[in-house]
Structure 1
C-alpha cells in the first residue's frame, strides 16, 4: 500500500499510489498482451515501406485521405502530439498534480510519458518501417503513443483519487486509452503520417509501458518513504 511519513511513522495514505493496487494484476496482464501484439506487428512489418493487408483494408493513407472540415480537426489533434503541443499538455498536467499535492503523480507523468515516447522512438529505429520514403520511420506512431499514455495516466490518477473499484477503474482506464489513442491514431492516418497498424502499435506501446512505469515509480517512492521512516525512528532513540 502507498505510505507516507508522519512523526517518524509510516502510515497508509489512500490514493497516493499512481498505480492503484486493485488494478495492478489486470493492468499487468493487459501490458503483457499489448507487448506481444506490439512485437508481433513490428516483426511482421520490419523493414517494410508499403501498407500491409490490414492497412489497405482500413484505408490507404494519402495526403488528402480526409478533407475539410475534418482535416482541420486532424491538424489540431496532430499539434498536441508535436513538441510544442505535447510540452504544453505535460506542463499543464504536472502543474495540476502539484496543485493537488500529488508530487508522486507529477513524477509519474514525466517518467511515464518519457518512457513511452522513448520506447516508441527506439522501436522505430529497430523495426525500420517507413512511409512515403525518405527515411520517414513510422512504426510505432509516437503521436499515438503519447496521447494514449497521457490518457492512461490521467485515468489512473482519477481512479486512485476517487477510490474507484476494480471493475469501474479498469473500464475507465481502458476507455480513456481507447478514446485518446483512437483520436490521435485517426488524425495521424488521416494526415497520411502513419499506417493504421502504426497507430495500433503506438497504442500498444503505451499500454505496455505505462503500467510498468507506474509500478516502478510506486516501488521507488515507497522504499524512499520507508528509509525516511527508519531514519526518523533512529533519530528519536
Structure 2
C-alpha cells in the first residue's frame, strides 16, 4: 500500500498550486473577516438582512429538494458520498486523490467544527451556525471531484482551475441554499463554509503529496 501511494499521481498538480494557493488565501481572509464581523452575533445584518427574508422557510416542493441536499451533509449521507468518491479515485488509480477525499473532508469539517464555538454566532437563539459545515463539506467534495476529473482529462491550468472553481461554486450554492432555505444557517454562514473548503482542501492535497513522496 505504501508503494501504491508513493508512486500514484499527485493529488495537487504543480500547475494548480499557485492559483489554488491564491484562492485559498483569499478564502481564508473572507472566512476570518466574516467570523469577526459576526462574532457572537445572532441577528440579521448586512447581506443576511437583504437575502434571508426572501428565501428562509421555503415550502414544498422546494423544501423536499432542500432536504435531499441537506441529507448529503448529514453523517450517513456524507459517509456514502465520501466512500463513493474515494472508491472512484481508487478505481481510477488515483490513490492520493482517494486519500484526499477522506482527509480533505475530515480536515474541512474539523475546521468548521472548531470555528463555530470560537465565533459563537447562533441562529434560533441556541444553535451555533458559523461557518456552515454542510456547505463546507459539499464544496470540499466538489473540489476533490474537480481534481479527479481534471487529472483524468489532462486539462491545462486554466481549464482545470475553471472546472474546480465552477464545481465548487455550484456545490456551495446548492448546499448553501438548502441550509438557508431550511432555516439552519444565515447566508454568510454558507459563504464561510464555502471559503473554509477552498482554504483547507488544496492545503490538505499539498500535505498528502508531501507525505506520500516521503514514504
2:177 aligned counterpart, secondary structure: helix
Q: Normalising by structure 1, report the TM-score.
A: 0.85
- 2:12 matches 1:19: yes
* C-alpha RMSD over aligned residues: 1.7
Report if aligned partners of 2:11, 2:96 keep a CA contact under 8 Å in 1. Answer: yes
How far the C-alpha of 1:66 sits from its partner, in A, is: 1.1
Q: How does 1:1-237 map to 2 (within 5 A)?
A: 16-60=9-53, 65-134=57-126, 136-224=127-215
Structure 1: 5+ residue stretches without partners:
225-237
Report if aligned partners of 1:143, 1:202 keep a CA contact under 8 Å in 2. Answer: yes
Higher helix share: 2
The 2-side partners of 1:103 and 1:25 are apart by 23
The 2-side partners of 1:97 and 1:137 are apart by 34
Structure 2: 5+ residue stretches without partners:
none
| Partner deviation per Cα, 1:61-91 (whole Å, 9 max, x = no partner) | 88x6211111110011101100010011011
The 2-side partners of 1:133 and 1:34 are apart by 28
Structure 1 or 2, whichever has the larger Rg, is: 1
The 2-side partners of 1:161 and 1:182 are apart by 25
The 1-side partners of 2:154 and 2:14 are apart by 11
How far the C-alpha of 1:157 sits from its partner, in A, is: 1.2
The 2-side partners of 1:124 and 1:40 are apart by 14
Q: Normalising by structure 2, report the TM-score.
A: 0.94
How far the C-alpha of 1:168 sits from its partner, in A, is: 0.4
Report if aligned partners of 2:89, 2:148 keep a CA contact under 8 Å in 1. Answer: no
